Amino acid sequence: MKKHNFFAGPSILPQFTIDETIKGIQDFDGTGLSVLEISHRSKQFIAVVDEAKSLFKELLNIPDNYSVLFLGGGASTQFLMLPFNLMNKKAAYLNTGAWAAKALKEAKYFGEVVEVASSKDKLYNYIPKGYSVPEDADYFHITTNNTIYGTEIFEDFDCKVPLVADMSSDIFSRTIDVSKYAMIYGGAQKNLAPSGVTFVIIRNDILGHVERPIPTMMNYQTHIDSESMFNTPPVLPIFSALQTLRWLKAQGGVEAMEKRNIEKANFLYDEIKRNKCFQPTIKDTTDRSRMNICFIMNDGYEAFEKEFLDLAGENDMMGLKGHRSVGGFRASTYNALPKESVEALVALMKEFEAKH
């Protein structure tokens, strides 16, 4: 029996993706070669990249004036590549978690950074509201889902400056209006593929406006012009990403995923609220992540945390321990996690409550 995988990332992938990747490793597209050893410039692999880009655009309804890139370096490299290409003098950042803070830190190497708001004062357990974004900023950066703390931004902001979003952990989990964003980027190891490939969705007209020279590899235009083939891309993760995109389309697309994700999240949050042993870490229901559901022991039950984690492990539930910086529990309920896994967790929580 396959275990229930609640890890935050790298995380659960569709079984279809795993099976098709294994086939590609053994024999890629009937070539008699493994996808691990095929040239990235072969017609077979170029077809993989082309189909993956096409499915990105189809599934997210990406307008024609945007490019989709597959790069290396993870989202952490985007933290510096972004301001390198888009910041002339000033950028605005919303600080909602550890990754948002790291993105903000990197941007300071390139100019003035305005932290428009932060939830650090309460250990990032809410999404700030009521802030203003300076209209002379070159862009405004947000991190839509915060894996460590369990908050998520669901609104596609109307913004007077170019809006940029790190969607590493909630891309394809809900519908978004891409036209509201100048750029969306993310690591793939949550809802898309194994770690190693980074996706970038970028509106073409926001490039070419900075005064500084940009090193070739750091220049988005380089990768647009070369169609993600300027250097050897992360071939295997891109191949796996294509399988996930095919799976997503077969499942009914992003709209169907969003409906399922709402059902899974509500089912688990409802039990956390009902169960005398547990409480949610995020009190404002509008700020709660659907991807990373964080909770702790209720008052008076703190001593039972290890017992619950041990019981979860005995019942084939992996990855429920909260991030080391916050403790408690974290159930990551990405697209590929079946509702049956959430139901198993809820049943275990009820069993634990009955025992105590």
CATH of the domain at 124: 3.40.640.10
pLDDT band at 324 (very low <50, low <70, confident <90, very high): confident
10 lies in some domain: no
Same domain (yes/no): 135, 272:
no
**258 and 245, same structural domain?**
no
Task: Tell me the C-alpha distance between 221 and 223, whole Å.
Answer: 5
pLDDT, mean of residues 140-152: 97
The stretch 271-299 carries a mean pLDDT of 97
Q: Is 166 a catalytic residue?
A: yes
Please determine, for residue 1, whether its predicted confidence score (pLDDT) is greater than 70. Answer: no
pLDDT in tens, 202-213: 999 999 999 999
Average pLDDT over residues 135-155: 97
Q: Taking residues 13-25, report their average pLDDT.
A: 98
Does residue 285 form part of some domain?
yes
- Of 138, 166, 170, 287, the active-site residue reads 166
pLDDT, mean of residues 316-336:
95
| 19 is a catalytic site residue | no
Name the region of 81 (left: φ>0; alpha: ψ -120 to 50; beta: rest): alpha
**Residues spanned by the domain of 226:** 15-250
Catalytic residue (choose from 53, 138, 170, 190): 190
Same domain for 190 and 47, yes or no, is: yes
Q: What is the pLDDT of residue 325?
A: 83
Read off the pLDDT band of 93 (50, 70, 90): very high
pLDDT reported for residue 2:
80
Note whether 72 and 164 are same-domain residues. Answer: yes
What is the per-residue pLDDT across 175-219, written as a single tens digit (0 to 9) for each?
A: 999 999 999 999 999 999 999 999 999 999 999 999 999 999 999
Q: How many domains does the chain have?
A: 2
pLDDT at 327: 87
Same-domain status, 192 and 337: no
CA 348 and chain centroid, separation: 27
**Whether residues 115 and 227 fall in one domain:** yes
Residue range 125-131: mean pLDDT, rounded: 96
Q: pLDDT category, 77, cuts 50, 70, 90?
A: very high
Chain mean pLDDT for the chain: 97
Indicate which CATH number applies to the domain containing 304: 3.90.1150.10
pLDDT of 96 above 70: yes
Are 104 and 123 within one domain? yes
Residue 264 lies in a domain: yes
Query: For residue 318, what pLDDT band results from cuts at 50, 70 and 90?
Result: very high
Single residue among 250, 279, 304 that ends a domain in this structure: 250
Instruction: Kindly report the pTM of this predicted structure.
Output: 0.97
Do residues 144 and 38 share a domain? yes
269, 333: one domain: yes
6 assigned to some structural domain? no
Same domain assignment for residues 134 and 201:
yes
Query: What is the side-by-side order of every strand in the sheet holding 183-187?
Result: 66-71, 198-203, 183-187, 163-166, 140-143, 90-95, 112-118
Structural Rg of the chain based on CA atoms = 21
Domain end position, chosen among 211, 230, 250: 250
Both 210 and 274 in a single domain?
no
Residue that terminates a domain, selected from 250, 267, 291: 250
CA angle 97, 124, 79 (to 5 degrees): 10
Per annotation, catalytic residue among 99, 170, 287, 321: 99
Residues 6+ apart with CB under 8 A from 154: 174, 286
In a domain, 84, yes or no: yes
Both 134 and 186 in a single domain?
yes
| Mean pLDDT in residue range 126-154 | 97
At 266, the amino acid letter reads N
